Each structure stands twice: as C-alpha cells, then as structure tokens.
Amino acid sequence: MDHLIATGVDGLIPNGSTGDFHLLTLEERQKVAESVIARAAGRVPVIVGATCLSTAEVIRVSLHAQERGAAGVMVAPAFYLPMSRAEILAHFQSVARAIKIPLVVYNNPLCTGQHVSAEMIAVLEKSVGVRYVKESSGVFDNFQQILVSTGQRVKVFMGEEALSLEALLMGAAGLIMGLANAIPDRFVEMLKAVQRGDIAQARLLHYQTLPLYYLANEGATHNYNSVIKSVIKLRRGKGVTSSRAPSLPLTDPQEGKLAELLDRIGLGQGG
C-alpha cells in the first residue's frame, strides 16, 4: 500500500474485484477496510468496495466503512440471479439513501451478469445524487453515453485497461484498474503524459502495456487475479501468488512466460 501511494496513485480501493472480496467473509472484509484506512492515514482517499449479494449486506458494509472514515464506497449490482431494471435501481437507491458518503456505481457486467446502462446512471444521478461511476463493461460507447446523458455531471472512471487512453482523452475523471495494483507506475506515467498534453508518450505507454493486459485476460488458462499477484512478486520480489481456493496460482511455465513479457515491455524487476 505504501508503495502504491509513493508511486503517485490518487486513491485506494480495498475489497474490489482484484482484492478478492468474493473470497472473504464480511468480517474479513471489514478488517481489510479498517487496515487500509488506518494505513493510508489520510494520505489518499480510501473508497471501500461494498458489493454483496443483498442490499442489506451492502448497507451494513457501507455503514461500517463510513464509520471507519472511508471517503466513499464502490458497489456493483447484486449478482447471481438476473435482476430487472427496477431492482437494480432500487438496490443503488437504497444504499445511497442509507449512507452519507459518496456512492461509486460499479458497472462490471462480465462479473455480475448485470449491466448498469447510461440511462440508469442518469436516473440515479437525479434520484439520489450519484456522482461517480466505475465503467468496466468494455463497451466504450457506454462510457460516452454516461457523460452525455448526465451532462458530464457524473464523473466516470474507466475500469477497462484496453480503453484507458481513449477514456482519458474523451473526458474520464481517472482510471481504476486491476493491473494498476501491479504496475501503478505505468498508469501514473500515462495519466501524467495526458495531463501535460504529451499524447505521443501516453500512446507509447499504452501500447507497451497492452500485451500484459492480453496475457492477464487469457481466462481459459489462468485466473486474472493470479496474474496480478505474480506480477507483483516478480517486480518487487515479494508477495503471494494466488488467491484462496478455487483460484490457483500460475504454473511455473506460465510464470516464466509472464516474466519474459515483463522484461520485454520494460516492467521486469526494478523496471
């Protein structure tokens, strides 16, 4: 965590998808949130992931985060069974009304099976004052439609690495990336390049990073989060290499392929 802050990230989000929230008990998630908030010590805002299977659980986790000093909570739709538009809206509205800190709506239909459309975001903005979205659908037009349908009043953070540069150029408030846990320096450099108008450098960094994104998303052969953990270990010489079961660590050949790729794109140990 200290390494991430020192690298220049603008915030931390414990208990998100990359944080394996789905493999933790509610009590463990609360301990993680408390630890991160305490360690951050106000250096950067902490947005706590609060996605759960029921609205009541989301509110419970969100209120705990609020009491411990979180700057906000990030919530995806409840998942497992398909929900109607009315149910998704009611879920977010109930959470927003129960807390006093900002709610970040997390759209990740690949993982939840539920899509939060731009039209739904506009309804949430008007009904309960939602002002923040993490957009991870992988559909760039959904990102643009959110900005258009809300008059750019809602700040949208891109969560899909392959669309990160395009999103920054088209008005994203920032990036919330799984790979940023492992290569924060690369995303910070790209963001700074965009901010100073050096689009050529930003493009170079983006295309250098894409091979790692493609490898991490070869989902038929390995777990995305296990790739991130292995990258951290290979770059920093420490860390765990897998999540809890049923997740598995990379095999030795897979990790060897990953190490070669990191060296090739300038992200090996010390890079």
Q: Per-residue pLDDT tens, the chain, 271 aa: give them.
A: 999 999 999 999 999 999 999 999 999 999 999 999 999 999 999 999 999 999 999 999 999 999 999 999 999 999 999 999 999 999 999 999 999 999 999 999 999 999 999 999 999 999 999 999 999 999 999 999 999 999 999 999 999 999 999 999 999 999 999 999 999 999 999 999 999 999 999 999 999 999 999 999 987 667 899 999 999 999 988 777 677 889 899 999 999 999 999 999 999 876 5
Task: Return d(Cα 215, Cα 160) in angstroms, integer.
Answer: 14
> Residue 188 CB: number of other CB atoms within 10 A?
18
H or E element at residue 110: helix 109-112
Cα 256 to Cα 208, 217, 242, 253, 271: the distances in Å are 19, 17, 16, 5, 17
Domain spans in the chain, listed from the N-terminal domain onward? 2-197, 218-271
CA 161 to chain centre: 10
Determine the pLDDT at residue 168.
98
pTM of the entire predicted model = 0.95
Determine the pLDDT at residue 269.
74
The catalytic residues are 106, 134
2-197: CATH class: alpha beta
Determine the pLDDT at residue 220.
66
Tokens of 157: 């953070």
Asked whether 114 and 77 are in contact (CB, 8 A), the reply is yes
